[in-house]
Amino acid sequence: MWKRIALYCAIAITALGGAVLTYLYSRRPAQVPPSAIRVASTPERVARGKYLFEVLCNCGHCHSLRDFTRFSGPEVESGRGQGNVFPVEFGLPGQVIAPNITPDPETGIGRWSDGEKIRAIRDGIDREGRALFPMMPYTFYRHMSDEDVESVVAYLNQMKPVRNPLPRSRIDFPVNLLIRSAPQPAGRVSPPDQGDRVKYGEYLVRLGGCMDCHTPIENGRPAADKLLGGGREMRLPYGLVVSANITPDDSGIGPWGERQFLNKFAEYRDYATNGPPKVGVASFTLMPWLSFSQLPEEDLAAIFAFLKTQKPVKNHVEVHPGVPKPEAGTGAPGA
């Protein structure tokens, strides 16, 4: 009798597993049809889109050719938006591609409608209705206002087309099925209230990717109880860097005042203007100092105001573990 019961249980479990797999394979990510909008490319809108693309959202961080032999990996102008294959050192589940987002009609998004571009940026759905790998931070960009996302599209539409054929992402099982739950339609999003510094700072932090990079990963997911607490390891062929703690704890930015915070970014403005120096393993960083150094002081102050309201997380971070710190007075840039 017990053998029969065990057999029935095994059959039931197998059937249930098969049903779950069938559901996961067959379900489509949450989505709505792309809007029929045609974005007006006014000079003001393109300028705002340039600020969002190149400075705040730093889209070229993933989508542009970069020179990682120099501090903070500056973009190579001729390869802006051309797309990249992420290196295996990232430890990603499969081959993940940041696609070509220039207006090239064959290898880029030149044939995409404006509505399809908006849906990809905020909802995480590509032109064929598939879920984008959430390394593309659409879970944060779904908070981007209608005006701002249209400005990004206006900027994308006037970029120089770059022909750069790339393969499609190939995500390993079961992640390829699980990511289908990540997209969510953004709907209509109002602009942030810039009069409320904390709320505006939260908007900037979301779009700037601060929560993504500065929150440690545990069991494959950002640790919700350690938001912005640093400790996330990022590996590249150029070295290992660990994100800093930016919570108001003493091990983070607790002792900092607003002016010290602003001055930290100002240190890198000369690099952004005149070109950054060559770097070694002790000063290699993925922190976008070059772009963030160009943020207006009022935006940086709003970011600081928001960070100061967050839960303090005790986490002393060694940014370059195991690497001797540069000697004082060498002029080596910070991480």
Task: Specify the pLDDT at position 22.
Answer: 53
Q: Which residues contact 31 (CB under 8 A, 6 or more apart)?
A: 119, 123, 125, 129, 183, 185
pTM for this entry: 0.89
Q: Tell me if 285 is assigned to some domain.
A: yes
Q: Tell me if 3 is assigned to some domain.
A: no
Asked whether residue 51 falls in the same domain as residue 158, the answer is yes
Supply the CATH number for residue 234's domain: 1.10.760
Asked whether residue 165 falls in the same domain as residue 62, the answer is yes
Asked whether residue 155 falls in the same domain as residue 212, the answer is no
Q: Tell me if 22 is assigned to some domain.
A: no
Residue 153 CA to its chain's centroid (Å): 17
Asked whether residue 65 falls in the same domain as residue 94, the answer is yes
Asked whether residue 153 falls in the same domain as residue 213, the answer is no
Task: Specify the pLDDT at position 1.
Answer: 52
Task: Count structural domains, the chain.
Answer: 2
- Enclosing domain of residue 275: 197-307
Asked whether residue 48 falls in the same domain as residue 175, the answer is yes
Q: Tell me if 284 is assigned to some domain.
A: yes
Asked whether residue 74 falls in the same domain as residue 106, the answer is yes
H/E/C letters for each residue in the chain?
Answer: CHHHHHHHHHHHHHHHHHHHHHHHHHCCCCCCCCCCCCCCCCHHHHHHHHHHHHHHCCCHHHHCCECCCECCCCECHHHCCCCEECCHHHCCCEECEECCCCCCCCCCCCCCCHHHHHHHHHHCECCCCCECCCCCCHHHHCCCCHHHHHHHHHHHHCCCCCCCCCCCCEECCCHHHHHHHCCCCCCCCCCCCCCCHHHHHHHHHHHHCHHHHCCCEECCEECHHHCCCCCCEEEECCEEEECCCCCCCCCCCCCCCHHHHHHHHHCCHHHHHHCCCECCCCCCCCCCHHHHCCCCHHHHHHHHHHHCCCCCCCCCCCCCCCCCCCCCCCCCCCC
Q: Tell me if 58 is assigned to some domain.
A: yes
Q: Tell me if 101 is assigned to some domain.
A: yes
Asked whether residue 167 falls in the same domain as residue 50, the answer is yes
Q: Tell me if 28 is assigned to some domain.
A: no
Asked whether residue 118 falls in the same domain as residue 161, the answer is yes
Domain final residue pick, 181, 216, 234? 181
Asked whether residue 149 falls in the same domain as residue 224, the answer is no
Asked whether residue 68 falls in the same domain as residue 138, the answer is yes
Which one, of 108, 143, 140, lies nearest residue 127 by Cα? 108
Report pLDDT digits (tens) over 274-304: 999 998 767 788 899 999 999 999 999 999 9
Asked whether residue 47 falls in the same domain as residue 175, the answer is yes
Domain final residue pick, 181, 209, 229? 181
Task: Specify the pLDDT at position 324.
Answer: 66
Contact call for residues 155 and 46 (beta carbons, < 8 A):
yes
Q: Tell me if 281 is assigned to some domain.
A: yes
- Digit-by-digit pLDDT tens for the chain (335 residues) are 555 554 444 444 544 444 445 545 557 899 999 999 999 999 999 999 999 999 999 999 999 999 989 999 999 999 999 999 998 888 899 999 999 999 999 999 999 999 999 999 999 999 999 999 999 999 999 999 999 999 999 999 999 999 999 999 999 999 999 999 999 999 999 999 999 999 999 999 999 999 999 999 888 788 989 999 999 998 877 778 899 999 999 999 999 999 999 999 999 999 999 999 998 767 788 899 999 999 999 999 999 999 999 999 999 999 888 776 654 433 333 34
Task: Specify the pLDDT at position 78.
Answer: 95
